[in-house]
Structure 1
Amino acid sequence: MNKVKRYLIFFIGLFVNSLGVSLITKANLGTSPISSIPYVLSLNFSFTLGNFTIFFSIFLIFLQLCILRKNFKLEHLLQIPISILFGYFIDFTMVLLKSVNPETYVMKFVYLLIGCLILGFGVYLEVLANVAMLPGESFVRAIVNTWNREFGSTKVMFDVSMAVIAAVLSFVFAYHLDGVREGTIIAALLVGFIARFFGKKLEFVKPILFAEEYTM
């Protein structure tokens, strides 16, 4: 029963994540670091943000295979259907938010902060579920486990790398910086903090949701 609860929480978290990513994107101040490359590509090609998120996620899974080699397990392939679902969630929430087009900088900043709050809560739900990881986090974990790195600093380096690569791609395809802005940096700084905040403040939720595990 707990397993069912955990997967249900994970998929709810996945949808909340997609809603946060879409709202940050609609704020038009850049997007979250992990979505920056798919977003820049979606601005320059005919595929949607969700489509490119799926393509990029599968590429990250392939890189995990190259890094982990014999340590790459069958369970890692679960990331493929999760990535596909996440991509469709992003496109669906982008449609839901199609009327959200803030014009003033203040309103863009407000939507950005709300998006970061939602995305942080989604990350918290995924951590709470503890059954699977999105390819971005799983790729970082592969690096950490293979070369004995520290997760937090490796995640920061990964996020920075994604933003830098996205910026380079923007200049290559559009000849100017588009899709990577101050919102990308703010999201990188805030989302992890917000997720940890929810984790601390809602710590009492675990024994309630997974009572069987705490009474064994």
Structure 2
Amino acid sequence: MSKAELVRRYVLFLFGLFVNSLGIALATRANLGTSPITSVPYVLSIRFPLSLGMFTLFFSLLLIAIQLIILGKRFPKQFLLQLPVIPIFSVFIDLSMALFWFVDPQTYPAKVCSLLLGCLVLGFGVFIEVAANVVMLPGECTVKAISTRWNTNFGKTKVAVDVTMAATAAVLGLLLFHTLTGVREGTFISALLVGTIARLFGRLIGAPVQALLKSRQLSQA
């Protein structure tokens, strides 16, 4: 891989990261729950005076620690790339939440529309990150660590991890608020839709995006 292509992939990844944060913000503003990976930081951000982005940073560091425990000496060096990425992602999340300050749907159909739009944007962001193929976020790295350690299917492991995240957030909500807070139908809708949307974008425009990333004409421009 040429240096020019590598630079393009990292630029695309950062763009995908920002799109990802926009989708998270839209889904969160719908007030129907947020994506499973964001559910624990979201519940904590409701209770304590720190932003969703800051709690996402702390939660991501916890996930990296879990990966280290699971893999030990088998922890891949490329997983260290998570460390410079998570502060950027955290800032993007807070920026996106601020950009969409005006999104406050009052009726249930409006909430659903905001949630579905968030899932669409988030799915596109996930597609871009996967297409860039340079760094995985802590959620995906944790799934990869588990599937590597116990030789499990990545897709099924991701579902199990998502369910665990949502269940953990639900328990936190019950402990902190004595009622189910932060985890609602939107959490499960997001879990079902985002991956499907990302795969759909992959089938529709995956090949052209990869061709553009590898284009020598761009390198010579």
* Same fold, judged at TM 0.5 (above): yes
Q: Report the alpha carbon displacement of residue 80 of structure 1 after superposing the two structures with TM.
A: 1.4
Structure 1 counterpart of 2:71: 68
1:21-170 equivalence runs, <5 A = 21-170=24-173
Q: Report the alpha carbon displacement of residue 93 of structure 1 after superposing the two structures with TM.
A: 0.5
Taking only aligned residues, the RMSD between alpha carbons, in angstroms, comes to: 0.8
| AA aligned opposite 2:149 | T
Q: Report the alpha carbon displacement of residue 78 of structure 1 after superposing the two structures with TM.
A: 1.6
TM-score by structure 2 length?
A: 0.94
Name stretches of at least 5 consecutive residues in structure 1 with no aligned partner: none
Is the contact between residue 64 and residue 142 of structure 2 (CA under 8 Å) also seen in structure 1? yes
Q: Deviations over 1:73-93 (max 9, x none)?
A: 333222112111111100011
Aligned counterpart in structure 1 of residue 178 of structure 2, from 175, 178, 186: 175
How many residues were matched structurally? 212
Runs of 4+ in 1 over 3 A off after TM superposition: none
Q: Does 1:191 align with 2:194?
A: yes
| AA aligned opposite 2:145 | A
| AA aligned opposite 1:180 | V
DSSP 3-state at the match of 2:135: coil
Q: Write the distance in 1 (CA, Å) between the matches of 2:206 and 2:129.
A: 14
Q: Write the distance in 2 (CA, Å) between the matches of 1:53 and 1:13.
A: 17
Q: Write the distance in 2 (CA, Å) between the matches of 1:132 and 1:48.
A: 24
Structure 1 counterpart of 2:12: 9
Q: Write the distance in 2 (CA, Å) between the matches of 1:190 and 1:39.
A: 19
Q: Write the distance in 1 (CA, Å) between the matches of 2:212 and 2:45.
A: 42
Name stretches of at least 5 consecutive residues in structure 2 with no aligned partner: 217-221
DSSP 3-state at the match of 1:30: coil
Q: Write the distance in 1 (CA, Å) between the matches of 2:212 and 2:135.
A: 21
TM-score by structure 1 length?
A: 0.96
Q: Report the alpha carbon displacement of residue 211 of structure 1 after superposing the two structures with TM.
A: 2.6
Structure 2 counterpart of 1:209: 213
Q: Write the distance in 1 (CA, Å) between the matches of 2:204 and 2:174.
A: 42
Q: Deviations over 1:179-212 (max 9, x none)?
A: 1000000000000000000000003321133134
